[in-house]
Amino acid sequence: MSNTPSPAYDIDAAAIAARIDRPLVLVGLMGVGKSTIGRRLAGVLGRSFVDADEEIERAADRSVGEIFEAHGEAYFRDGERRVIARLMEEGHGVIATGGGAFVDGETRALVLEHGLAIWLDCDLDTLVERTSRKDTRPLLKTGDPREILFNLKEQRGPAYAQAQIHVVTDDGPHEATVARILEELAAWR
Ligand code: S3P
């Protein structure tokens, strides 16, 4: 075992947490790692973490897949918009959002004004591989997942690009991505 400190701790996370007191909102495509990375980021910063999809499921008392199936995507998006507005209001430290949330103009404006949006971005192969591990995403069941993710990447890119911070991840350890986010946050004014 090496004694080298993990890269996530090379930066003064406490100073970042003290300076940036608005919610850090992770946005980006399905499979990019928003929930896992968000949880770790919150841990390093000593802030609370909440996952918007889990909150939607709790509020509706059913899974995202069941909501899509019973009521359709538009209904899900309405709920998503309301839940994220509530989470922003509650002032959580780190919020992981579902891949479509930041594409909604109202949600995007709210997050950009009262939070700090962090776009997690990675290559298509990694997204395809990661999303193939779970069978819970209704949008990927309507055709070829690679083609769907490719199209969503194209369509949503301009919305995601409005995030204040952009971090490109790869299929390496999540810890490295957290370290990169911390670097961006340290430089953010
Ligand atoms: C969606 C992404 C999902 C979930 C829903 C729709 C999207 O969340 O909100 O299936 O439109 O990209 P994840 O990005 O956490 O998979």
Is the Cβ atom of 138 under 6 angstroms away from ligand 1? yes
Is the Cβ atom of 180 under 6 angstroms away from ligand 1? no
pLDDT tens per residue, range 70-125: 999 999 999 999 999 999 999 999 999 999 999 999 999 999 999 999 999 999 99
- How many CB atoms lie under 10 A from the CB of residue 184? 15
Predicted local confidence at residue 9, as pLDDT: 54
Q: Closest ligand 1 atom, CA of 100?
A: 11
Distance between Cα 187 and ligand 1 center (Å)? 29
Taking the chain, what is the end-to-end CA distance rounded to the nearest angstrom? 37
Does 57 have pLDDT greater than 70? yes
For residue 78, what are its two tokens?
Answer: 């309405």
Distance between Cα 13 and ligand 1 center (Å)? 29
Does 165 have pLDDT greater than 90? yes
Predicted local confidence at residue 46, as pLDDT: 94
Residue 92 sits at φ, ψ, to 5 deg, of -65, 155
Q: For residues 39 and 178, is the Cβ–Cβ distance under 8 A? A: no
Average pLDDT of the chain is 93
Q: What is the mean pLDDT of residues 36-58?
A: 97
Predicted local confidence at residue 127, as pLDDT: 96
Q: Which residues pair with 35 in a beta bridge?
A: none
Is the Cβ atom of 137 under 6 angstroms away from ligand 1? yes
Predicted local confidence at residue 173, as pLDDT: 87
Q: Whose CA is nearest to atom 12 of ligand 1?
A: 99
Distance between Cα 146 and ligand 1 center (Å)? 15
Q: How many CA atoms lie within 13 A of 52 on its CB side?
A: 30
State the pLDDT confidence band at 2, using cuts at 50, 70 and 90.
Answer: very low
Q: Closest ligand 1 atom, CA of 56?
A: 9
State the pLDDT confidence band at 145, using cuts at 50, 70 and 90.
Answer: very high
pLDDT tens per residue, range 13-35: 889 988 998 999 999 999 999 99
Distance between Cα 100 and ligand 1 center (Å)? 6
State the pLDDT confidence band at 4, using cuts at 50, 70 and 90.
Answer: very low
Predicted local confidence at residue 1, as pLDDT: 37
